[in-house]
Structure 1
């Protein structure tokens, strides 16, 4: 092996370690502070210079997209596991609880889903949300346990409302569970009057998600 090869390999290992440390730090910083965190915050948390951040990612947007495309896919996979629950209503409850818990402990994930600070889902993610979750809602309607008129596209406004209580107070980190329970009660089939206006269709849902960025 040549001297040059000896020099290149350690540099590559160092670069890989820096990248790994940077990605981990970014995920932790965004989870705690949300998407308002800066590249300087990430560099400080990672214990590296901000120049190293720029050598790995061209911008904060590049970091966010790298992290949360995968994170949203992972969250969808967890939500899809709710279909394995035999009881259709408990499956709906599990989906909302799993998703809300993920968002409550990760501000960055929540803000990415909601389209905050110029970041948000693209049309591919919006279409995937509808495609993955529609069977869950369809099954609950077929079983007669979901209120007439409730649609998979209602999840956007519901999670937006929950976002207002996720981080209301450090003294009440689980306060969101109270309001999720109230919302779920409103989603369950009952003798309530029909909903006053229809839900968004899939096209309007995608537009609503992607135009908030």
Structure 2
């Protein structure tokens, strides 16, 4: 089934924002590469560039969530799952020729200091990813506060490592981040097990 005109516009916007940022993506270029008219873009997105960007961020957020979900659901051990997330991100980034980083992070950085719908869409995407990791950690037995804080650390570290990998055109920053995050998750679980054992002896 062929994608609709609206879908082509959103997917194209997401790809362009990955490669050249929100500021560098223009409506005319977007329409041309999506094989759509300017009239079509404004028909589906009366709010113009910002409205398209918000839809693209939501789309990209779901794409990244799918990568996380594949890695998290593919491993029972959360420490191994976190490392798998980093390795899968590294694989995807390498396969794109280091071009397709995270458009959510790029757009968030470009629009910092604004109280805008774009910033809110970026924040929502980041929260949804953190919630996915936190849920994995909760199911592994971590307390809610530890799970939330550790999930925030995981997502923040992976996002930063992805940017570094893209700049250096080298997946090592992501692979290193995955290994260290895995150790961190293991340490949390070991600490929890030790606390439980201490309670059992008292």
How far apart in 2 are the matches of 1:138 and 1:17? Answer: 39
Q: Which has the higher helix share?
A: 2
5+ unaligned residues in a row in structure 2: which ranges?
112-117, 143-148, 189-202
Residue 42 (structure 2) pairs with residue 67 (structure 1): no
For 1:44, the equivalent position in structure 2 comes to 32
For 1:26, the equivalent position in structure 2 comes to 13
For 1:129, the equivalent position in structure 2 comes to 129
Q: How does 1:111-190 map to 2 (within 5 A)?
A: 111=105, 115-118=108-111, 119-122=118-121, 124-138=124-138, 151-168=150-167, 172=169, 175=170, 177-189=171-183
Q: CA RMSD in A?
A: 3.7
Residue 60 (structure 2) pairs with residue 56 (structure 1): no
Q: Shift of the alpha carbon at 1:26?
A: 2.2
Runs of 4 or more, structure 1, over 6 Å off, are: none
Q: Shift of the alpha carbon at 1:126?
A: 4.5
How far apart in 2 are the matches of 1:184 and 1:20? Answer: 33
How far apart in 2 are the matches of 1:70 and 1:125? Answer: 10
- Per-residue CA shift, 1:22-61, capped at 9, x if unaligned? 3343233223322221112212323444344223212212
Does the 8 A contact of 1:35 with 1:108 survive in 2?
no
5+ unaligned residues in a row in structure 1: which ranges?
1-15, 143-149, 195-213
Does the 8 A contact of 1:32 with 1:106 survive in 2?
yes
- The normalised TM-score by structure 1 is 0.59
Counting matched residue pairs gives 166
Q: 1:117 to 1:25 in 2, by over 3 A?
A: same
